Chain A
């Protein structure tokens, strides 16, 4: 069974602080996607990383895909209250997955306090 372990599960910080969320697996993924989900809404795609070692930046958010394509991280600089939400990583399996499957982590619930 392929799993994506996300950590931490919960994170509560003050506005202006930096944070990093991790997504780890023993399996290789052809791509990894990061989503943000608000309560009662569907996940909204933030970024897709495809190449091992790839780094993508989206304003204050920096995403990195591990060299072996088994892990990823999301770093937020100078967090704002608007960053509050559930952050999900999702991997597209290279081998052995049910075709069409995205494997999701359990998510990191981020709360940024003013």
Chain B
């Protein structure tokens, strides 16, 4: 049990819609990272938030955006959903640092029809 919780667990949307995914970080962790995991692939880094500021971003378009709140929980927002956005979205929390040890939630399975 990592203490990282994500909601909802499953979500079905149609192309063009918008979606918000939520994550509560493990107690004491001030850094949250979001990843997209397509079927049969390893997770791909979307972005990271540290103390409510974006702290790094992967190769994802601007329609992927996020927020971090004062209690270190976080949201991932995706606008103008495309079919290829169907994936497992993972949130990971950490204390940062060079070793970057991250603890993952169970993920949100998003299906775009």
A-to-B contact residues, CB < 8 Å: 4, 6, 30-31, 33, 35, 40-45, 48, 50, 88, 90, 92, 98-107
Contacts and interface: CB of A to CB of B under 8 A. Distances in A.
24 contacts: A4-B42, A30-B98, A30-B99, A31-B98, A33-B102, A40-B107, A42-B4, A42-B92, A43-B43, A43-B90, A43-B104, A45-B104, A50-B99, A90-B42, A90-B102, A98-B57, A99-B55, A100-B33, A100-B50, A100-B55, A101-B58, A102-B45, A103-B45, A106-B42
A92 B99 contact: yes
Contacts of A104: 35, 42-44
Given A98-B57, A99-B55, A100-B31, A45 B48 contact: no
Nearest to A9: B40
Interface string B14-49: 000000000000000001010100001111110110
Nearest to A31: B99
Given A48-B99, A48-B101, A99 B48 contact: yes
A33 B97 CA distance: 14
Interface in B86-113: 90, 92, 96, 98-107, 109
Contacts, number: 86
Contact of B105 (A33, A40, A42): A42
Nearest 6 pairs of A and B residues by beta carbon: A100-B48, A104-B42, A99-B56, A42-B104, A100-B56, A92-B100
Interface of B: 2, 4, 6, 31, 33, 35, 40-45, 47-48, 50, 55-58, 90, 92, 96, 98-107, 109
Contact of B106 (A42, A45, A101): A42
A105 B42 contact: yes
Contacts of A44: 2, 104
A8 to B, nearest CB: 14
A40 B101 CA distance: 22
A98 B56 contact: yes
